[in-house]
């Protein structure tokens, strides 16, 4: 049986937005939507009795289920309360998920942080793909604007390092583009070789063009096998100088989804997000899928 798409529900404003996004994804994948909640819905400092908190949590799930069922009457939906701290409970649940979807804004109230601590903790440790959805985001594939020859397709963006392409990340991105009829834009931001920095000078325009042509060829070579596997997906490429995080954040403007990778190899402090994924999560203007890979 196909594993469910799971959406985390809490009392933050973006939670229901993420759940609606997850519903679209579940419908596209032909699977059920599982709404989960962990922890007291009233937040820190609540003086409610445990029975009251349980009742409130169940009502929270029922309300979310009703709202989503109204928009997706044919979608199988169920709710489940999870035991334990939110991050740990969501990580356990994600092991049985096709995809885990969370809102970006937590309950902490720190305006400078787009992504809540629970969402960051889960995105940095889960073995399943997780999508973090900002409040106000649209459907997974975006909207395809009609208009004859001038029609503009929805666009999914995926970051690529052609030197070490990650199959799991490209497989996820191509599948998403195919599911939602979206164009896939492969983005690579490349830096000048370290020798230029040591020398303290910028190469002439002709040499920059030559470096750009080389980087573009590497990207096309890395993507070619996936183009052949998914001929139904329209592919575009953006290859330009600049740090990968900045180039991806810029490309996120108007995108339906940004896909980034996260290595599952443990670091000295345990599994965590890399610098590019971390920056994109905090600054992208679109939902961000974090896909673990070896």
The reply to whether 26 and 128 lie within a common domain is yes
Say what the pTM is.
0.88
The reply to whether 121 and 156 lie within a common domain is no
Question: Which of 119-128, 181-190, 279-288 shows the highest mean pLDDT?
Answer: 181-190
Least confident range of 44-48, 64-68, 105-109, 164-168: 105-109
Confidence bin at 14 (pLDDT 50/70/90)? confident
- The answer as to whether 62 is a domain residue is yes
Beta partners for residue 187, in sequence order: 159, 238
Q: What is the pLDDT of residues 202-223, one digit of tens each?
A: 677 788 888 899 999 999 999 9
User: In this structure, are residues 81 and 38 in contact, taking their beta carbons and an 8 Å threshold?
Assistant: yes
- Domain CATH code at residue 101: 3.40.50.620
The residue range of the domain holding 63 is: 5-133
- Domain CATH code at residue 197: 3.40.50.12370
Sheet holding 257-263, edge to edge: 77-82, 33-38, 5-8, 99-103, 130-133, 288-293, 257-263, 155-159, 183-190, 235-241
**Count of structural domains, the chain:** 2
C-alpha distances in Å from residue 84, one per residue of 39, 63, 117, 233 = 7, 22, 16, 41
Does position 146 have pLDDT exceeding 60, yes or no?
no
The residue-averaged pLDDT of 80-108 equals 87
The reply to whether 109 and 14 lie within a common domain is yes
Q: What is the pLDDT of residues 161-179, one digit of tens each?
A: 999 999 999 999 999 999 9
- The answer as to whether 138 is a domain residue is no
The reply to whether 192 and 248 lie within a common domain is yes
C-alpha distances in Å from residue 62, one per residue of 35, 58, 69 = 9, 6, 10
The reply to whether 56 and 163 lie within a common domain is no
- The answer as to whether 17 is a domain residue is yes
Does position 148 have pLDDT exceeding 50, yes or no?
no
- The answer as to whether 139 is a domain residue is no
pLDDT at residue 272, as a whole number:
75
Number of other residues whose CB lies within 10 A of the CB of residue 118? 24
Q: E strands within the chain?
A: 5-8, 33-38, 77-82, 99-103, 130-133, 155-159, 183-190, 235-241, 257-263, 288-293
Does position 43 have pLDDT exceeding 60, yes or no?
no
Residue of 89, 154, 78 lying closest to 118 (CA atoms) = 89
- The answer as to whether 168 is a domain residue is yes
Does position 36 have pLDDT exceeding 70, yes or no?
yes
Confidence bin at 49 (pLDDT 50/70/90)? low
Confidence bin at 231 (pLDDT 50/70/90)? very high
């Amino acid at each position: 049986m196909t594993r469910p798409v799971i959406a985390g529900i809490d009392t933050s404003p973006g939670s229901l937005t993420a759940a609606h996004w997850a519903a679209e994804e579940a419908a596209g994948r032909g699977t059920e939507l599982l709404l989960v909640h962990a922890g007291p819905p009233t937040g820190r400092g609540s003086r409610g009795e445990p029975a009251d908190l349980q009742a409130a949590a169940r009502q929270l799930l029922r309300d979310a289920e009703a709202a989503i069922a109204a928009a997706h009457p044919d979608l199988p939906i169920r709710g489940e309360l999870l035991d334990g701290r939110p991050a740990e409970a969501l990580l356990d649940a994600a092991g049985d998920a096709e995809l885990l979807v969370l809102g970006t804004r937590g309950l902490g109230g720190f305006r400078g942080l787009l992504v809540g601590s629970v969402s960051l903790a889960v995105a940095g440790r889960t073995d399943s793909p997780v999508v973090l959805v900002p409040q106000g985001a649209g459907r997974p594939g975006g909207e395809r604007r009609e208009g004859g020859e001038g029609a503009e397709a929805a666009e999914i963006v995926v970051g690529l390092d052609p030197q070490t392409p990650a199959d799991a990340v490209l497989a996820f991105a191509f599948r998403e583009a195919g599911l939602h009829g979206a164009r896939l834009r492969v983005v690579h931001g490349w830096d000048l070789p370290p020798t230029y920095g040591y020398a303290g000078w910028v190469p002439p325009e002709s040499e920059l063009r030559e470096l750009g042509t080389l980087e573009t060829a590497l990207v096309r070579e890395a993507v070619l096998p996936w183009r052949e596997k998914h001929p139904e997906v329209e592919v575009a490429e953006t290859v330009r100088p600049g740090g990968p995080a900045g180039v991806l954040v810029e490309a996120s403007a108007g995108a339906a989804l940004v896909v980034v990778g996260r290595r599952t190899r443990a670091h000295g402090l345990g599994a965590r997000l890399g610098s590019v994924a971390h920056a994109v999560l905090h600054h992208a203007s679109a939902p961000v899928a974090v896909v673990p890979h070896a």
